[in-house]
Amino acid sequence: MNRVIFHNPIPQKLLPTLFFLFAPPVIGFIALTKLLGGLTPFGNILYYFGLFLFILLLFQAKMFIKLKFNLPWWAYSIPLDALAIGTLLMYEESGSPFFKVLSWTVFIFLNIMILILVLKTTFAIKNKELCVEEVE
Task: Tell whether 136 is covered by a domain.
Answer: no
Q: Give the lowest-confidence range in 20-34, 40-54, 58-72, 99-113.
A: 58-72
Q: How far apart are CA 36 and CA 43, in angstroms?
A: 10
The total number of structural domains in the chain stands at 1
Task: Tell whether 132 is covered by a domain.
Answer: no
Please, what is the average pLDDT of the chain? 88
Cβ–Cβ under 8 Å, residues 64 and 5: no
pLDDT in tens, 14-42: 777 887 888 999 999 999 999 999 999 99
Q: How far apart are CA 88 and CA 107, in angstroms?
A: 9
| Per-residue confidence band for 58, with pLDDT thresholds at 50, 70 and 90 | confident
Task: Tell whether 118 is covered by a domain.
Answer: yes
Task: Tell whether 131 is covered by a domain.
Answer: no
Q: Look at residue 112 and tell me whether its pLDDT is greater than 90.
A: yes
Task: Tell whether 134 is covered by a domain.
Answer: no
Q: What percent of the chain has pLDDT over 70?
A: 93
Task: Tell whether 133 is covered by a domain.
Answer: no
Give the structural domain span for 54. Answer: 2-126
Q: Look at residue 97 and tell me whether its pLDDT is greater than 80.
A: yes
Task: Tell whether 21 is covered by a domain.
Answer: yes
5 sits in which H/E element: helix 2-6
Comparing CA positions, the residue from 59, 70, 53, 56 lying closest to residue 12 is 70
Residue 30 has a pLDDT of 96
Q: Look at residue 75 and tell me whether its pLDDT is greater than 90.
A: no
Cβ–Cβ under 8 Å, residues 86 and 30: yes
Task: Tell whether 135 is covered by a domain.
Answer: no
